[in-house]
Amino acid sequence: MSSISASIRPAVVLFAGLTLLVGVVYPYAVTGISKAAFADQAEGSIILRDGKPVGSSLIGQSFSSPKYFWGRPSATGPMPNNAGSSSGSNFGPTNPAQIDAVKGRIDALKAADPSNTAKIPVDLVTASGSGLDPEISLAAAYYQAPRIARERKMTLEGVLALVNQLGEHPALGFFGEPRVNVLALNLALDKKH
C-alpha cells in the first residue's frame, strides 16, 4: 500500500505545481507584462468620445451612411464585425456566393457615388479572414473621398488632407501597406465638420 501512495504523491505534487504555474503564475505574468509594455492594446484600444467608449481601434465597425468612410466588408455572423465570432466567409474566388456578394458591394458603392468612375479597390468589396479589419487601404479611402466631400459639403482637398494626416505607412517602410483606421477617420470627420 505504501508503494502506491509513494507513486501517487509525486504525481499529485507535480499536478498541483503545474496547475499553479500554468494556471495562475503564467497568466498573471503575461497580463502584467502586456499591460506594462502594451497598455493600450492590453485594455482593448478603446476610443473615447466625450468620455464614453465609441469603439476599438483594433476592431472594425460598420458604417453605412454616405457621409462616412466605409470599412472593409465583414463576413462574421450573425452580424458584421462581431468580435465574438471572428471568421471569414471561406468562399473561394469562383464561388457563386462570393461573386454575388462582391457584385452587391460594387453596386452599393456605385449607388452611393454614381459619378465616381475610378477603379474600386479590392478591400472595399472583399472580406478578410478575420472579418474584423479596422483599417482600409489609402486607395480605398481615396476612392471614397469625393463622396465624403460632397455629402459633408467639404472640399476634396480637405478630406484627402485628413486621410493623409491619419494614414499609416508600412512598418519599417515595407511591412504591410499604407492604410488608415476607419473609426479614427470618421471620428475626425465628425470633429472637423
Q: Model pTM greater than 0.85?
A: no
Give the model's pLDDT for residue 1: 55
The verdict on 116 and 180 lying in the same domain is yes
Alpha-carbon gap, residue 154 to 167, rounded angstroms: 19
Residue 91 identity (one-letter amino acid): F
The verdict on 8 and 52 lying in the same domain is no
Alpha-carbon gap, residue 50 to 158, rounded angstroms: 24
Alpha-carbon gap, residue 2 to 21, rounded angstroms: 29
Apex 132 CA angle, 158 and 148, nearest 5: 20
Task: Work out how many domains the chain is built from and give that number.
Answer: 2
The verdict on 103 and 21 lying in the same domain is no
Give the model's pLDDT for residue 147: 97
Beta bridge partners of 136: 180
Residue range 49-84, pLDDT digits in tens: 888 988 888 888 889 999 999 999 988 877 888 877
The verdict on 18 and 48 lying in the same domain is no
Alpha-carbon gap, residue 42 to 94, rounded angstroms: 39
**Over pLDDT 70: what percentage of the chain?**
99
Residues 6 or more apart whose Cβ sits within 8 Å of residue 75: 87, 88, 89, 127, 131
Residue range 136-174, pLDDT digits in tens: 999 999 999 999 999 999 999 999 999 999 999 888 888
- For residue 1 the three cell numbers come to 500500500
The verdict on 139 and 105 lying in the same domain is yes
Task: Please give the mean pLDDT across all residues of the chain.
Answer: 90
- Domain range holding 124? 44-192
